[in-house]
Structure 1
Amino acid sequence: MSRHRCPAAAACRNLAPVIALRTTPGPAARPFRTGMTVAFALLVAAGCGREQAEAPAVEPAADAARQVDGSVTISGDDRLAGSLTWRAPRVALAEGDEALVAALDRAGEALEAGDLEASADSAIPLYLAVLERDPGSKPAAEGLERSLSALLAQGAAALGRAGDDDDALHRARMVAAVARSLRPAEQRVRDYLADVDRAEHLAEINQAAERELRAGRLGESGDGALARVREALALDEDQPRALQLRAAVESAMIRRAEDAASAGDFDGAAEWLDHAEAVRGGAGAVADARTRLDTRRRAWILRLRDEGIAALPRAGGIEDARALLARMLVLAEPGNAAVAELRERIDLAVHYGNFRPGQRFTDRAGGGRGPQMVVVPHGGFSMGAADADRDAEDSERPRRNLRFDRGFALSLTEITVGEFRRFVDATGYRTRAERRGFSMAYDERSGNFVRRSRVDWRMDFAGARAADDLPVLHVSARDAQAYVDWLAEVSGERYRLPSEAEFEYALRAGGTGRYPWGDGPPPEGVGNLTGDKDRSPGGRGWSNAFEDYDDGHWGPAPVGSFTPNAFGLHDLEGNVSEWVADCWHDSYRRAPASGAAWVNPGCRMQVVRGGAWASSPAQTRSSWRAPSPVDNTNARVGFRVARDI
């Protein structure tokens, strides 16, 4: 028979319904694209080159054999040519019935093995070759039918994998080409072709989504990869590759959130997580990412805190730390401990440098250690005597309000004999009492203070050798200044005598009473004061003293023997009175508003503050002050030091 004979007229008449299929899909199908429609029609019409009236009638089996013969040219989308065309491999059959039987046997074995169309030894080419030779072969026709069923089953299996497997989709296309060549008008083939077309359309959408994803167009604004993914899932909500791409878009948004967090942009990170949450409606991955970002946010807060603390000692560090604190406030929840810590450290740096209020410390000084210092907190107070104070003098007024915006340090106690000795040994300094050969000391026989020869800083209140832990006496204001100048030089720190305002502020320690402890009688153990129960070695008592008070000492006590005040300082209210840096002025009018020392160059009179072991109750008041010549030395006055921080 001629290999170019036209199929039966009935088969050619099937062309119109086949084309109509592409524009009027069944319930399970969707429209095919133009290229596939043209190819499908051409496959049906292949070989119909003669008039239908000239074609003799043929059997259905022979019709199937004719439809796969010849060359098919695809117009339209050439990209699909390879997948829309199938030509049966040429099978060479020998003459005679034995060759047909052998071919049927081989075809049956290939069908059993699932080898359906790939080569000349596959089932479908063999069955077609037998039908070409013997159109009435029932075994070949039945075998071809079984092969088509098996082929469609393979195609369906491939379509089941085609969602995320390009090779499976390629196999499904090949099955489609073969099935269209064999039975283009059968409903099962038409349904299968519709499924393939749908799979290809989904693949194209997914490929577009992949391109958008690779280009970084995720679709947070309504387009890009996410829009393509949603288009695919609208066609098939379980489509594997679309589901994978949706997860990939979500992951990419989470990565952008993490990148933003790594750069400290947690607002941007939160926005990206909101976008990611909208992808799958609050999937667990976003919740986990929020947990991770919250951990990273807390780590950033801690890092900013550490950077702020590290910045504080540097020049301009307080402003740098404040800027870091502002960034922390944006990131942190209310009440965050790290924010509170940095804010406190900034406050401390503003007011105390590297110290804390109440902190005790010593500095290296000349191969040893300087006196123990206490950090006095910053704050304000009312300096001077109240109007109702009956013992106050005009020099203690007018009362004024002062504030120290920065803390300072005072020595824990008065400077001791041992501490002053280190200074003298290091410098060879000779005090005023040494140079002039006398000082004022207590005389037990007369009960008064008398001028006594060869009394200097080494002696106690009565002129005897002093222990190292007693406050140094018999030193002038200039001797005290010489000590602090040396201490500042050997320590490299800003040591000085305290100002009068600093002394009273530290003496009151937050109190507002007549005395450092309040308005009533002194509590037991508050300090070395004049009590009416005190007795001298010879049995003397005080004529003007606090009632019912006995501190156990006649003369200065070893420093630190009594209870410290609220600022942690000892002996401000008693033991010995102390030199301060201010020159004497008859009142506080025009005194510095800052609380700094009021100094006039070359002044001859300097201020003494604080009660002593021999001071009357009036001289123990918080506002009491007295003038003394800068070269004066006696058994009642010592000093302590201040230091800037």
Structure 2
Amino acid sequence: MAGCSGSAPSVAPNAEPAKNPTLVERLEARAEARAEAKAEAEAAAAAKAKAATPDPAPQVESIALPVWNAPEVSLQPSELAEARKAADKALAEDRLYRDAEDAIPLYLAILALQPQDRAAQRGLDKARQRLRAQATALMAQPENQRQALAQAAEIAGVAVALAPEGKAEQALQQRIAVARRLLALNRAGEQALRQHQFGEDGGGAQAAFREVLATDPLNSRARQGLAAVESGLIRRAEYAAAMESDFDAAARWLDKATTIRGEAVTLKDARARIENIRTAQLDALREGGLRDLVSSKGLKDAQLKLAQAERIALPGDRTVVLLRERIELVTHYGSFRPGQVFSDALADGSRGPQMVVVPYGSFQMGAAEGEIGSSDAERPQHQVRFERGFAMSITEVTVADFRRFVEAAKARPRATRRGHSIVYDERSGNFIRRSGVDWQSDYNGAKAAPNSPVMHVSVRDAEAYATWLSEQTGRYYRLPSESEFEYALRAGSQGRYPWGRSMTPPENSGNFTGSLDVSPSGRHWNNAFIGYGDGFWGTAPVAMFRANAWGLHDVSGNVSEWVADCWHASYRRAPADGAAWYNPGCRQRVIRGGNWANAPEQTRAAWRQSQDSDVTSARIGFRLVRGI
């Protein structure tokens, strides 16, 4: 056997057989010693395995086959027959190569003494076949692959030592080398999995498993490994969604998971689970935010929940839209809604004036440069913004409303104390002072109907009514600021007139001076809206005409109205937040809104006029606002 990796056993021709144990005795002794050594090794391995940590990831590189050296067999020519019997018995028991008493070492020893021994050669050929069969079986073994392949490599090393040029042995050697490399790659991938190195951006477990499948597309272990990588990425996505509320990161992890097996069923299920997590979190944030809005935690906590919901929600999510709308409502309207109509209960069980909630927003207040009929007192035009809505009485305060105040508070309004007020005189067509006129009187001094707007009241009378109503309802009523009044009068429009740019009011839009209006004695207005008529020469009962876009009646007509502001000759340095521009002790106040006797230029949306705070007139009334 010179020249091969397995060396032939040495032979001692001068030995004295009679002084040595027989071959059978030597073989039996060696078998006993081998059994004892194997038992000790197995016990030591078992003890070590209990405390051993997982194997480190193997270095994936070419693994050389082990070199087999035949055990030394001392054989005398006289022992050939006995050696043949021992070799055949070992072959039958599949004891092939490990020890000197196994089949292959014995056959080699026999052939070393008798190279032409056909029986030994046939036995050796059978042993080689057994080696290939054993190695092939070990390669197919699904359990303990590492040990099985190591054993297969050892067996292949024996086979190659016996037949270095044998094609079957070379093929076996190649298959084992490939199998061991694939196993090492699988183990490296599994180790990376345990360390959560999925290789989503290259390398890691995914690279190892893909390299295996490039060689063996049906390798079940690598396929399972890739499935485990996919599962790991899905777990990361679900963790990001459930624990971190980071749904963008969850989507990225799922996108990486799709590179494993495409949009598999597991990915579709994971996306559904993550969307369920998102929905549950959004529902919880919405419900929590809504609870905050009606609890002591209030608006700030609800806004924090909204911010979190906006971070995790998909665009247009209805849950976020609902919570944002509710927060916006509370921010700008408290417990009310824009356009809501209500009235507060008074202490005696009756109801106060009907109010409507005016929406928050902004507008350009005043007249633009060059507006026909405007004055410098209406400029500069400036932006006013209301961060919160407010409630305004739908109509002007009526005679019936004011009567309850006078009688309950035993009030004596200014015209009553003074004994006169300014009325329209039908005979002369002028406004004159007439005795015996007060808040109970109509525009011409006659008794006013209960549903007529109260006239002949000073701004102090209006403020006294607001104070009384506040005491009765427990709510804060006041005169509107000038900017609140113009904002409500325009109701979202920005034209010259409250209804827009048309020179003629729309039909049924209000009580204005119209060319078609006729006084009881047949008078016509000298300066009026051409072609317009409303059926009233003086004041009309409240709410006789169509409300504006925000549900308010008679803001631009019927009677002009007191507002809370002191008179200033222009809007320079005027408040931009909707607050009244008031100087304590001021005598000159502002009236706003056209009236039944105003010229068309005085019906413009920006029109304003100064009046002494003691003035009472058939052309001036008021309405109130209430905070919400």
Q: TM-score range by the shorter chain?
A: 0.5 to 0.7
Matched, 1:3 2:24: yes
Measured in 1, the distance between the counterparts of 2:214 and 2:620 equals 96
CA 532–644 in structure 1, closer or farther in 2 if over 3 Å, else same: same
**SS of aligned partner of 1:258:** helix
Asked if the contact 2:200–2:206 (Cα under 8 Å) also holds between the matched residues in 1, the reply is yes
Asked if the contact 1:417–1:470 (Cα under 8 Å) also holds between the matched residues in 2, the reply is yes
CA 233–642 in structure 1, closer or farther in 2 if over 3 Å, else same: same
CA 573–86 in structure 1, closer or farther in 2 if over 3 Å, else same: farther
Deviation at 1:586, TM superposition (A): 4.4
**SS of aligned partner of 1:241:** helix
Deviation at 1:219, TM superposition (A): 3.8
1:213 aligned to which of 168, 174, 193: 193
2:342 aligned to which of 352, 362, 365: 362
- 2:54 corresponds in structure 1 to none
Deviation at 1:550, TM superposition (A): 2.0
Residue identity opposite 1:559 in structure 2: V
Unaligned 5+ segments in structure 1 are 8-29, 75-83, 89-137
**SS of aligned partner of 1:56:** helix
Deviation at 1:620, TM superposition (A): 2.6
2:567 aligned to which of 568, 581, 584: 584
Matched, 1:551 2:551: no
Matched, 1:572 2:555: yes
- 1:379 corresponds in structure 2 to 362
CA 64–423 in structure 1, closer or farther in 2 if over 3 Å, else same: farther
- 2:17 corresponds in structure 1 to none
Deviation at 1:574, TM superposition (A): 0.9
Residue identity opposite 2:311 in structure 1: R
CA 62–587 in structure 1, closer or farther in 2 if over 3 Å, else same: closer
- 1:534 corresponds in structure 2 to 517
Asked if the contact 2:399–2:448 (Cα under 8 Å) also holds between the matched residues in 1, the reply is yes
- 1:327 corresponds in structure 2 to 311
Matched, 1:56 2:40: no
CA 86–399 in structure 1, closer or farther in 2 if over 3 Å, else same: farther
Asked if the contact 1:86–1:178 (Cα under 8 Å) also holds between the matched residues in 2, the reply is no
Residue identity opposite 1:401 in structure 2: H
Which deviates the most, 485-494 or 191-200? 191-200
**SS of aligned partner of 2:80:** coil
Residue identity opposite 1:268 in structure 2: A
- 1:619 corresponds in structure 2 to 602
Measured in 1, the distance between the counterparts of 2:101 and 2:617 equals 125
Measured in 1, the distance between the counterparts of 2:181 and 2:82 equals 38
Measured in 1, the distance between the counterparts of 2:75 and 2:483 equals 126
CA 302–56 in structure 1, closer or farther in 2 if over 3 Å, else same: same
Asked if the contact 1:408–1:643 (Cα under 8 Å) also holds between the matched residues in 2, the reply is no
Q: Calculate percent identity across the aligned residue pairs.
A: 43
Measured in 2, the distance between the counterparts of 1:577 and 1:85 equals 127
Unaligned 5+ segments in structure 2 are 1-21, 29-61, 104-118
Measured in 2, the distance between the counterparts of 1:200 and 1:425 equals 107
Measured in 2, the distance between the counterparts of 1:552 and 1:527 equals 10
Residue identity opposite 1:245 in structure 2: G
Deviation at 1:551, TM superposition (A): 0.9
Deviation at 1:617, TM superposition (A): 3.2
CA 283–537 in structure 1, closer or farther in 2 if over 3 Å, else same: same
Asked if the contact 2:87–2:102 (Cα under 8 Å) also holds between the matched residues in 1, the reply is no
Residue identity opposite 1:506 in structure 2: A
Matched, 1:412 2:394: yes
Residue identity opposite 1:63 in structure 2: A
CA 62–592 in structure 1, closer or farther in 2 if over 3 Å, else same: closer
The two structures, once aligned, show a CA RMSD in angstroms of 5.3
Deviation at 1:249, TM superposition (A): 1.7
- 1:250 corresponds in structure 2 to 230
Aligned pairs for 1:134-533 within 5 A: 160=140, 162=142, 165=143, 206=186, 209-220=189-200, 222=202, 224-230=204-210, 232-233=212-213, 236-262=216-242, 263-280=244-261, 283=264, 285-286=266-267, 289-290=270-271, 293=274, 314=298, 316=300, 320=304, 323-324=307-308, 327=311, 332=314, 359-362=339-342, 364-366=344-346, 368=351, 371-384=354-367, 387=370, 389=372, 396-406=377-387, 408-409=389-390, 410-421=392-403, 423=405, 427=409, 429-435=411-417, 439-441=421-423, 456-462=438-444, 466-488=448-470, 494-509=476-491, 510-513=493-496, 517-518=500-501, 520-533=503-516
Asked if the contact 2:496–2:606 (Cα under 8 Å) also holds between the matched residues in 1, the reply is no
1:628 aligned to which of 605, 611, 618: 611
TM-score (norm 2): 0.67
Residue identity opposite 2:241 in structure 1: A
Measured in 1, the distance between the counterparts of 2:469 and 2:522 equals 41
Deviation at 1:579, TM superposition (A): 0.7
CA 267–507 in structure 1, closer or farther in 2 if over 3 Å, else same: closer
Residue identity opposite 1:50 in structure 2: S
Deviation at 1:272, TM superposition (A): 2.6
Which deviates the most, 262-271 or 248-257? 262-271
Measured in 2, the distance between the counterparts of 1:241 and 1:500 equals 82
Asked if the contact 2:415–2:421 (Cα under 8 Å) also holds between the matched residues in 1, the reply is yes
CA 482–235 in structure 1, closer or farther in 2 if over 3 Å, else same: same
Deviation at 1:321, TM superposition (A): 7.3
Asked if the contact 1:362–1:369 (Cα under 8 Å) also holds between the matched residues in 2, the reply is no
**SS of aligned partner of 1:55:** helix
Deviation at 1:602, TM superposition (A): 1.9
Measured in 1, the distance between the counterparts of 2:536 and 2:551 equals 22
Deviation at 1:252, TM superposition (A): 0.9
**SS of aligned partner of 1:527:** coil
Q: Deviations over 1:131-188 (max 9, x none)?
A: xxxxxxx9xx99xx9xx99x998997886561xx55x999999999999999996998
- 1:607 corresponds in structure 2 to 590
Aligned length: 543
CA 455–229 in structure 1, closer or farther in 2 if over 3 Å, else same: same
CA 280–466 in structure 1, closer or farther in 2 if over 3 Å, else same: same
Measured in 2, the distance between the counterparts of 1:373 and 1:85 equals 110
Deviation at 1:266, TM superposition (A): 3.1
Deviation at 1:552, TM superposition (A): 1.7
**SS of aligned partner of 1:485:** helix
Deviation at 1:449, TM superposition (A): 5.5
Residue identity opposite 1:561 in structure 2: M
Asked if the contact 2:240–2:247 (Cα under 8 Å) also holds between the matched residues in 1, the reply is yes
Aligned pairs for 1:590-601 within 5 A: 591-592=574-575, 596-601=579-584
**SS of aligned partner of 1:579:** strand
Deviation at 1:622, TM superposition (A): 3.2
